[in-house]
């Protein structure tokens, strides 16, 4: 009496306006497209296989601007399939892939209406880590 699995196909969202969240750390870059409520449409990272297909970057290559560019391009193509036409970009983090990710989103044919930097800045909160000595 085993029941057959029901396959519920996920419907594609058609979203004309979206928010592109670019989180760029020293080790990787995450690009996420969400609708205006915050529901995720698609995403890509510098280390995911979606960034450039066969070129999934590993280790320190994930932190390069080129990996961020391919990740943003991959996410932007997925977002265009979901019907995204214009996007607001919010950038977080100190990494090297910030500008190249925004340029790749523009080059993919999505119009960028606003760019916000939402990097968290402490107002003398937690004590920082001890200084790195090389």
pLDDT along the chain (134 residues), means of 10: 67 84 95 95 84 70 92 94 94 93 95 95 91 91
The number of CA neighbours under 13 Å toward the Cβ of 46 is 28
Q: Which long-range contacts (CB under 8 A, 24 or more apart) does 114-118 make?
A: 114/88, 114/89, 115/88, 115/89, 115/90, 115/91, 116/88, 116/89, 116/90, 116/91, 117/90, 117/91, 117/92, 118/90, 118/91, 118/92
Other beta carbons within 10 Å of 44? 27
> What pLDDT, on the 0 to 100 scale, is given for residue 52?
52
Phi and psi at 73, nearest 5°, equal: -65, -40
- What is the CATH code for 17-117? 3.30.420.80
pLDDT of residue 59: 86
Query: Domain coordinates of the chain in residue numbers?
Result: 17-117
8 A C-beta contact, residue 101 and residue 95: no
Q: What is the pTM of this model?
A: 0.82
pLDDT attached to residue 118: 96
Q: What is the pLDDT of residue 53?
A: 56
The dihedral formed by the CA atoms of 40, 46, 52 and 58, expressed in degrees to the nearest 10: -140
Is the separation of the CB atoms in 20 and 33 below 8 Å?
yes
What is the phi/psi pair of residue 102, to 5°?
Answer: -65, -40
């Amino acid at each position: 009496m085993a029941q057959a699995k029901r396959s519920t196909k996920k419907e594609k969202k058609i979203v004309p306006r979206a928010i592109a969240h670019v989180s760029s750390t020293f080790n990787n870059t995450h690009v996420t497209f969400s609708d205006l409520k915050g529901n995720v449409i698609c995403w890509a990272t510098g280390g995911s296989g979606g960034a450039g297909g066969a070129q999934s970057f590993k280790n320190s290559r994930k932190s390069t601007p080129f990996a961020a560019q391919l990740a943003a391009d991959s996410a932007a193509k997925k977002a265009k399939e979901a019907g995204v036409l214009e996007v607001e970009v919010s950038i977080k983090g100190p990494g090297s892939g910030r500008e190249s990710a925004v340029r790749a989103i523009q080059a993919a044919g999505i119009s960028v209406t606003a760019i916000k930097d939402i990097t968290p800045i402490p107002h003398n909160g937690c004590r920082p880590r001890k200084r790195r000595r090389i």
